[in-house]
Amino acid sequence: MKSTLFSAAAALLLSAGAAAENLSFDDLRASCTTPAKFHNQIAPSNIQVTCKDTQTKWVPDGNATLTAQAGRQVVASITSDKYASAPISGDVKIPEQALVCPKFKEVQETVESVRAVTCSELVAFTGTVTDFCSGTIDALRASNPDSLKIVDTGRVYDLCSNAAPKPAVGQSGQTGQPVPSQQ
């Protein structure tokens, strides 16, 4: 699951002593080109876009082993120039087979970034605030893996926890029963 949270244009310092006004990303871009529509004489400055990206992922958490019953069946028949016998099958005991299966744990990765931008950068950008932040976060993830804050969610997925496999259809497991001859 990938959940990306964004808050954009959080800090707008419009003029000395003026209070910041909450605007959408598109409104902020519009205020850069037409400040008068937003009751200002000049475009905003000191613009910061805050981006927070949260992702959950499954990562390997070691292996476990379990044993599963293995099977061996021997079929025997006798033929000669005068006689033939029907095939007889019998199960032969063999050791259990050790299986290795992976275990996973879920982790949550969080990356936060505050990026200073200019009005020209905002106006030139085509896309949504989510697109803007996705690009910023992707670049940060690639260039600085240490920026990730990783915590375990406590959820685990252990493929060994399931019951042993059940016999496939057609495996009778019976011993000493004749197997129909195929002529």
pLDDT recorded at residue 113: 94
Please report whether residue 109 resides in a domain: yes
pLDDT, residue 41, reads 85
The reply to whether 72 falls in a domain is: no
pLDDT at 16: 32
Residue 8 lies in a domain: yes
Q: What is the mean pLDDT of residues 20-48?
A: 88
Q: Is the pLDDT of residue 13 over 70?
A: no
> Tokens 């519009």, residue?
30
pLDDT band (50, 70, 90) for residue 131? very high
Return the percentage of the chain with pLDDT > 70, whole number: 77
Average pLDDT, the chain: 80
Specify the higher pLDDT residue, 91 or 173: 91
Give the residue numbers spanning the domain of 8.
2-63+103-161
Count of domains observed in the chain: 1
The answer to whether residue 90 is domain-embedded is no
- The CA-atom distances, in angstroms, between 75 and each of 7, 42, 90, 105, 171 are 72, 93, 6, 46, 14
Q: Looking at residues 178-182, what average pLDDT do you find?
A: 39
Instruction: Let me know if residue 168 belongs to a domain.
Output: no
Looking at residue 162, what is its pLDDT?
61
- Say if 120 falls within a structural domain: yes
Residue 174 lies in a domain: no
**Residues 103-129, mean pLDDT to the nearest whole number:** 94
> Worst-scoring range by mean pLDDT, 73-82, 87-96, 170-179?
170-179
Beta strands at 97-117 and 47-68: parallel, antiparallel or unpaired: antiparallel
pLDDT surpassing 80 at residue 71: yes
Q: Which of 22-26, 62-66, 109-113 has the highest mean pLDDT?
A: 109-113
Question: Is the separation of the CB atoms in 53 and 137 below 8 Å?
Answer: yes
Residue 9 class from Cβ within 10 Å (0-12 exposed, 13-18 middle, 19+ buried)? buried
pLDDT higher than 60, residue 81: yes
In a domain, 52, yes or no: yes
